[in-house]
């Protein structure tokens, strides 16, 4: 683990420049440019809200201590906010799952350059996806804040300034910090999928199914509490589940997450990070023979 961190730190400037290039190339040549980073989440959110809330009449169960009971968030938007919190976490994993299997095969010129540190390719993808998730979380915070102000204005209510400041200065930073726990898992997943995808070309065809499984077998469209208790532990095998639930607790439910569970999640993430890096380095010697 220490060796992998030292090697990554030795190439930190190269890693930073590659991440910036990836972000710049993501929307290069499009009319809206980086605006797609803001528009795409809202398009997906609008579609899912229409299908699940308008067509299937789905409702999100409220909590007595939720933010909506203390700060005037319009009840009609409560479902959308919970859904968006789930989607922004899953989107980072979906990005990695969709691109990682071909990330080595698509760079044959780098594979044949002995001096290039190939593990950085997966890290660039992971960090880029993670930064997109951070941006979406900031969008959620801004929209939540505007909704509180709008709800107070329309309802003729006075906002509890102390409660609002506590939400902005304590819960929002904690939510941003919570998302940092995703990065080790994203890197580990990218290393595993990129290594396997280089040898098994069919893996890229399974990416949509894997992304769908991650979304529907996790608390994206429903809270874990709505699942039978016997199956709740199974859903926590999804690496996105705990972060989604804790993000909702911090921003929407007015609850504190389980700190012990988050510590365990962080340790598991670091173990996955080290294992993913070790496996990638172990098999990368044969990449040049198959790309």
pLDDT digits (tens, 9 = 90+) for 173-225: 999 999 999 999 999 999 999 999 999 888 888 888 999 999 999 999 888 88
Who wins on pLDDT, 36 or 225? 225
Q: Is residue 206 part of a domain?
A: yes
Question: Does 1 score more than 60 pLDDT?
Answer: no
Asked whether residue 58 is domain-assigned, the answer is no
Is 134 among the domain residues? yes
Residue 8 included in any domain: no
pLDDT score recorded for residue 59: 72
Domain total in the chain: 1
Would you place residue 172 in the very low, low, confident or very high pLDDT band (cuts 50, 70, 90)? Answer: very high
Instruction: Please state, in angstroms and rounded to a whole number, the distance separating the CA atoms of residues 79 and 221.
Output: 9
What is the overall mean pLDDT for the chain?
83
Is the model's pLDDT at 91 over the cut of 60?
yes
Residue 24 within a domain: no
Predicted model pTM: 0.88
More confident residue, 164 or 131: 131
Domain that holds residue 265: 70-289
Mean pLDDT for 140-160 is: 73
């Amino acid at each position: 683990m220490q060796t992998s961190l030292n090697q990554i730190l030795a190439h930190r400037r190269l890693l930073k420049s590659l991440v910036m290039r990836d972000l710049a190339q993501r929307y290069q040549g499009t009319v809206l440019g980086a605006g797609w980073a803001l528009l795409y989440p809202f398009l997906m959110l609008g579609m899912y809200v229409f299908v699940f809330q308008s067509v299937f009449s789905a409702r999100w169960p409220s909590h007595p201590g939720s933010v909506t009971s203390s700060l005037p968030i319009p009840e009609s938007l409560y479902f959308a906010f919970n859904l968006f919190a789930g989607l922004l976490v899953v989107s980072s994993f979906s990005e990695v799952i969709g691109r990682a299997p071909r990330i080595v095969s698509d760079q044959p010129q780098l594979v044949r350059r002995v001096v290039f540190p190939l593990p950085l390719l997966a890290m660039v993808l992971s960090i880029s996806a993670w930064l997109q998730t951070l941006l979406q979380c900031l969008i959620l915070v801004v929209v939540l804040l505007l909704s509180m102000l709008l709800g107070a204005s329309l309802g003729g209510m006075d906002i509890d300034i102390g409660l609002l400041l506590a939400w902005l200065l304590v819960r929002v930073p904690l939510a941003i910090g919570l998302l940092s726990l995703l990065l080790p898992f994203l890197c580990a997943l990218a290393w595993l999928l990129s290594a396997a995808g280089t040898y098994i070309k069919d893996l890229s065809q399974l990416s949509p199914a894997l992304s769908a499984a991650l979304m529907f077998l996790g608390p994206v469209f429903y809270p874990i509490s709505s699942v039978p208790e016997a199956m709740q532990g199974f859903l926590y095998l999804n690496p996105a589940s705990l972060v989604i639930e804790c993000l909702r607790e911090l921003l929407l439910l007015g609850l504190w997450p389980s700190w012990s569970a988050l510590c365990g999640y962080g340790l598991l993430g670091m173990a996955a990070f080290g294992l993913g890096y070790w496996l990638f380095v172990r098999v990368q010697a044969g990449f040049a023979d198959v790309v």
